[in-house]
């Protein structure tokens, strides 16, 4: 095909796709606009997870009638005029892209009135094309209505998840901006029903209560404002007793912008080093303020990541006060020091051995182990690619059969992997992934025969949910019941847990349920699966042996036996490998014997 210019329509849709990924992205951009317009009240309404309708209203400065059409042109902004401005930008928006992007992929209507004008302007657009512009009576402020999002981008539409999941994403955006701006009153409505609200008192603690509930807020410690080297840090950090299986509860703001920065999140997590069980994440809401010239906010399409001129200084400035706060309140928990870095991890693992830490495959390798891991997995990959050559070796299997040969347990390393030997070499098994697979097949078999192993609780457990968790629970109650949960509403966002799948018996049930619901809110699961399978996957993830758990020889043998009997022993239900196989031939080659 010859090179040709994309039509403006196609170009606009592609550009929009960068910024607007799902209904929650629209909410994010429009909330940012309202905040930039100095709104004191922001109201968000969604219908069908925002796919059918989104309405964001604010009482901010409004847009003068004659500027309204211009606001929808790409690169039209009132927030920046020269490239130098970019390095002192104080507003959340600055690219002049959001309104144009949202309008390009929806039916949009905006009514806006600055308080100094007697009437407002209403504009309507479809697929970015202006369809109407009128004078209307309106309250001061701005109201944007977005309908039929992605109606003209079917590929995007297909990728949207269940209403409850999309609603969960919207809730996450609204609640996190509420945490960043305690002085603004936020409210969120799902199909006309209010699901979230903050009072706008200006007190972060009040918002913590609204977002995470009183039980969590009570365990949060205030990180008092501290300025070092021009970097100010303040907020709240959870006591070490308050940990979660997801990173979601670690919320960071840089110059009042909510960011998802892995490195900075890691710096905070490091402040909890040796205080949290392996694989668990802290709860915190922290603000970082620094000279805008020290941070580049223009490195990510949705502005979710930033780049610091001196990351090290920022990390230290954040870590120190958090660490000080938690050590002050938890003098009893003494960090293990005996062996320095790696030894510490060992000692830690021993102490917490048997504790159910939720291990996330990709994320929690230390530097050393990451290198190791890459090395191992490269070898594993090679094993697949070079098979034809390998067939020369009598020891190598002709093909990777689904079933496993009988394996002999050699031992455990890093409280994470089980080393085993088969007739054809070494098998390194990921204990968490392998156990997930075993449990998943067990649960599916039980479901097939209608013999779900469910355990009734002696006393029902009260679960206090967030609106997002409650929405998922309501939407997926059938799937949850089908695998052994029994839950009943108990007013508001409270539910009573009457029974739970037997495989969760050894867990802290309340914590397990919250983790499972959070995971479902996240929707981070293979798309094609049916909901009941997805739910089963999440439950198995929670119920399985975790990384960081020491296993006895017997336990390892039991796990390997069960894995041998699985139908698909080589992948976990998420599709990741449960094991790495190094054939005798590969071992010999690596040692230069060939």
Binding residues (CB under 5 A) for Mg ion: these are 33, 93, 98
- The enclosing H or E element of 44 equals strand 41-47
Listed in sequence order, the residues at least 6 apart from 64 whose beta carbon sits closer than 8 Å to its beta carbon are 114, 117
Q: Is the dihedral of CA 244, 246, 247, 249 positive or negative?
A: negative
Closest CA to 121 of 67, 160, 54, 194: 67
Question: Under the criterion CB under 6 A, does residue 238 sit at the interface with ligand ADP?
Answer: no
Q: Which stretch binds ligand ADP (CB under 6 A): 53-61, 402-410, 437-445, 473-481?
A: 53-61
Residue 393 falls in which region: left (phi positive, over 0), alpha (psi -120 to 50) or beta? beta
For residue 7, count other CB atoms closer than 10 A to its CB: 9
* Number of chain residues interacting with ligand ADP (CB under 6 A): 23
Q: How far apart are CA 340 and CA 346, in angstroms?
A: 10
Give which of ligand ADP, Mg ion, none residue 60 binds (C-beta under 5 to 8 Å, depending on kind): ligand ADP
We find the least distance from the C-beta atom of residue 194 to ligand ADP, in angstroms, to be 21
Give which of ligand ADP, Mg ion, none residue 361 binds (C-beta under 5 to 8 Å, depending on kind): none
Among 71, 480, 483, 537, binds ligand ADP (CB under 6 A): 71
Give which of Mg ion, ligand ADP, none residue 79 binds (C-beta under 5 to 8 Å, depending on kind): ligand ADP
Q: How far apart are CA 280 and CA 566, in angstroms?
A: 29
Give which of ligand ADP, Mg ion, none residue 78 binds (C-beta under 5 to 8 Å, depending on kind): ligand ADP
Q: Which stretch binds ligand ADP (CB under 6 A): 58-66, 338-346, 520-528, 565-573?
A: 58-66
Cβ closer to ligand ADP: 98 or 470? 98
Measured from each CB, the residue nearest to ligand ADP is: 93
Quick note: the x/- pattern for ligand ADP over 33-52, rule CB under 6 A, is xx--x---------------
Q: Which stretch binds ligand ADP (CB under 6 A): 89-97, 245-253, 454-462, 524-532?
A: 89-97
Question: Under the criterion CB under 6 A, does residue 62 sit at the interface with ligand ADP?
Answer: yes
Binding to ligand ADP in span 139-198, by CB under 6 A: 142
Place of tokens 């970019």: 86
Q: What is the DSSP letter of 70?
A: H
Q: How far apart are CA 497 and CA 179, in angstroms?
A: 30
We find the least distance from the C-beta atom of residue 63 to ligand ADP, in angstroms, to be 5
We find the least distance from the C-beta atom of residue 113 to ligand ADP, in angstroms, to be 10
First to last CA, the chain: 49
Q: How far apart are CA 589 and CA 593, in angstroms?
A: 6
Question: Under the criterion CB under 6 A, does residue 122 sit at the interface with ligand ADP?
Answer: no
Q: Which stretch binds ligand ADP (CB under 6 A): 72-80, 117-125, 222-230, 356-364?
A: 72-80
Q: What is the DSSP letter of 498?
A: E
Question: Under the criterion CB under 6 A, does residue 94 sit at the interface with ligand ADP?
Answer: yes
Q: Judge whether 144 and 138 are in contact, CB under 8 Å.
A: no
Q: Judge whether 393 and 583 are in contact, CB under 8 Å.
A: yes
Q: How far apart are CA 223 and CA 233, in angstroms?
A: 8
We find the least distance from the C-beta atom of residue 75 to Mg ion, in angstroms, to be 12
Question: Under the criterion CB under 6 A, does residue 96 sit at the interface with ligand ADP?
Answer: yes
Q: How far apart are CA 451 and CA 96, in angstroms?
A: 58
Residues that bind ligand ADP (CB under 6 A): 29, 33-34, 37, 58, 60-63, 71, 76-79, 93-100, 142
């Amino acid at each position: 095909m010859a090179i040709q210019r994309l039509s403006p329509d196609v170009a606009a849709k592609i550009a929009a796709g960068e910024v607007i990924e799902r209904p929650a992205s629209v909410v994010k951009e429009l909330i940012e606009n309202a905040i930039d317009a100095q709104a004191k009240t922001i109201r968000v309404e969604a219908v069908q997870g925002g796919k059918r309708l989104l309405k964001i209203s604010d009482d901010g400065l409004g847009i003068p009638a004659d500027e309204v059409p211009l606001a929808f042109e790409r690169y039209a902004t009132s927030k920046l005029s020269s490239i130098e401005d970019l390095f002192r930008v104080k507003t959340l928006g600055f690219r002049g892209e959001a309104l144009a992007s949202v309008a390009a992929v929806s039916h949009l209507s905006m009514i806006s009135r600055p308080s100094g004008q007697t009437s407002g302007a209403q504009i309507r657009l479809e697929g970015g094309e202006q369809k109407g512009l009128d004078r209307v009576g309106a309250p001061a402020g701005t109201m944007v209505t977005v309908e039929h999002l992605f109606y003209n981008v079917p590929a995007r539409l297909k990728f949207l998840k269940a209403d409850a999941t999309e609603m969960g994403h919207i809730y996450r955006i609204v609640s996190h901006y509420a945490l960043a701006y305690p002085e603004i009153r936020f409210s969120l409505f799902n199909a006309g029903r209010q699901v979230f609200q903050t009072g706008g008192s200006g007190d972060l603690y009040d918002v913590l209560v609204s977002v995470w509930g009183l039980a969590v807020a009570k365990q949060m410690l205030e990180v008092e404002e501290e300025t070092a080297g021009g970097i100010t840090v303040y907020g709240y950090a959870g006591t070490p007793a308050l940990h979660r299986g997801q990173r979601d509860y670690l919320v960071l703001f840089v110059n009042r912008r909510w960011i998802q920065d892995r490195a900075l999140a890691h710096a905070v997590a490091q402040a909890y080093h040796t205080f949290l069980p392996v694989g668990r994440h802290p709860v915190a809401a922290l603000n970082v303020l620094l000279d805008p010239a020290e941070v580049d906010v223009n490195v990510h399409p949705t502005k979710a990541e930033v780049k610091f001129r001196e990351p090290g200084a920022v990390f230290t400035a954040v870590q120190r006060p958090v660490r000080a706060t938690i050590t002050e309140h938890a003098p009893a928990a003494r960090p293990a020091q005996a062996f320095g870095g790696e030894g510490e991890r060992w000692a830690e693992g021993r102490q917490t051995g048997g504790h159910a830490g939720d291990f996330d495959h990709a994320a929690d390798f230390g530097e050393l182990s990451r290198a190791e891991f890459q090395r191992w997995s490269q070898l594993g990959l090679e094993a697949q690619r070079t098979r034809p050559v390998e067939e020369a070796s009598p020891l190598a299997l002709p093909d990777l059969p689904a079933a496993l040969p009988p394996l002999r347990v050699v031992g455990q390393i890093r409280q994470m992997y089980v080393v085993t030997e088969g007739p054809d070499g070494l098998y390194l098994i990921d204990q968490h992934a392998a156990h997930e697979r075993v449990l998943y097949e067990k649960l599916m078999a039980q479901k097939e025969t209608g013999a779900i192993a469910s355990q009734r609780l002696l006393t029902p457990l009260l679960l206090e949910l967030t609106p997002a968790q409650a929405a998922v629970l309501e939407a997926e109650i059938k799937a949850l019941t089908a695998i052994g949960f029994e839950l009943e509403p108990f007013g508001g966002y409270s539910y009573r847990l009457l029974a739970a799948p037997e495989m969760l018996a050894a867990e802290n049930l309340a914590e397990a349920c919250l983790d499972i619901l959070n995971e479902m809110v996240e929707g981070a699961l293979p798309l094609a699966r049916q909901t009941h399978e997805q739910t089963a996957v999440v439950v198995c993830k929670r119920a399985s042996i975790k990384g960081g758990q020491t296993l006895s020889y017997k336990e390892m043998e039991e796990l390997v036996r069960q894995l041998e009997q699985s139908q698909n022993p080589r992948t976990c239900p998420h599709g990741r490998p449960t094991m790495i196989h190094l054939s005798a031939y590969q071992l010999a080659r690596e040692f230069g014997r060939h």
